[in-house]
Amino acid sequence: MSETTVSPDLTDDLHRARAGDDDAFGRLVSPLRRELHAHCYRMLGSAHDADDALQDALVRAWRKLGSFEGRSSLRTWMYTVATRTCLDLVDARGRRALPVDLGPASDTVTTGDVPVTEVAWLGPYPDEPGARAEERESVELAFVAALQHLPGNQRAALVLFEVLGFSAAEIATTMDTSTASVNSALQRARKLVAEKVPTASQQRTLREIDDARLREVVHGYSSALERGDAPALVALLTEDVTWSMPPMAHWYAGIGPVTAFARAVPLGGDCGSWRHLEVTANGQLAVASYRRAPDEPADAPHTPWSIDVLTLRGDRIAAVTSFIGAEHHARFGLPASLP
């Protein structure tokens, strides 16, 4: 990477941090926290695991700061610490999955589906306001899900090279291996990711559609669910649309099965009433769903249910990934209820 080492204005904080000043250390790493957290999410597929990894990496960096000699930038050194921390967690916790990774789509609608707790599920990631298109692209759902199919060393090599611009030699130093091993890992990783990630990114798709139409898609999806309007919902979907709901294992593929599922479950009376807020997640269009159960009074609030990440092909929805769980709303900074 073509970076300078620690800038003169940070040198004093570096000396202070090495002497044990934790405030100085905080000032050094504060500008890097968000991008390091996103790096940990790409590696681990979970914002919660990224929290743990970043905290662990900061503790490791604090303890090892004396070994930082300034021959690379502080940013590069911190990425080395964070990557090694993530690799330890990959070995300990395994990979994250989506329902499509576990088995074929369901041919018939399953009502009363229950969470599968023995699977480590991939989770959504809130967008950073003002993030660049390439930053949003690097956390798109298809890309992060594909990374989870790679061994830790291939995952790290691909992210460091393709997303962050490290050279193969720098990655070899980061991972304590040879440049030849890094190049081999990159070759294998690229092959698998190319098979699983669409050629057109969601950032490219979003750029090609005017803002008014994008608003129509998001509003149309939300309002169709709130009205129980199946034809309006179906009109927004591609013929080969998929719908999955981690941590539920069942998922549906194709306009027929997805329509049957939508009529029976989110549009069915057993789900109750819906309200939605427009958000963005994983660099994609998304809505936060709030639900009021059918046995609750009409003036009861709607409470968090899921973050629905929408994957577009053209101006239609090709995939709905509904991440169920109130904990996601808290991470997105969303209200605890809607009237």
Please name the residues in contact with 293: beta carbons below 8 A apart, sequence gap of 6 or more: 272
pTM: 0.93
Closest among 118, 42, 119, 135 to 87, alpha carbons compared: 42
pLDDT tens for the chain, 339 residues: list them: 434 354 555 788 888 888 888 999 999 999 999 999 999 999 999 999 999 999 999 999 999 998 887 777 899 999 999 999 999 999 888 889 999 999 999 999 988 889 999 999 999 999 988 888 899 999 999 999 999 999 999 999 999 999 999 999 999 999 999 999 999 999 999 999 999 999 899 999 999 999 999 999 999 999 999 999 999 999 999 999 999 999 999 999 999 999 999 999 999 878 899 999 999 999 999 999 999 999 999 999 999 999 999 999 999 999 999 999 999 999 999 999 998
Token code pair at residue 334? 């969303």
**Rounded Cα distance, 286 and 279, in Å:** 5
**Rounded Cα distance, 267 and 220, in Å:** 14
Q: At what angle do helices 179-196 and 168-175 cross, to 10 degrees?
A: 100
Please name the residues in contact with 267: beta carbons below 8 A apart, sequence gap of 6 or more: 225, 228, 229, 230, 233
- Give the DSSP H/E element, type plus range, for residue 175: helix 168-175
- Decide if 124 contacts 286 (C-beta within 8 A): yes
- Decide if 58 contacts 156 (C-beta within 8 A): no
- Decide if 241 contacts 317 (C-beta within 8 A): yes
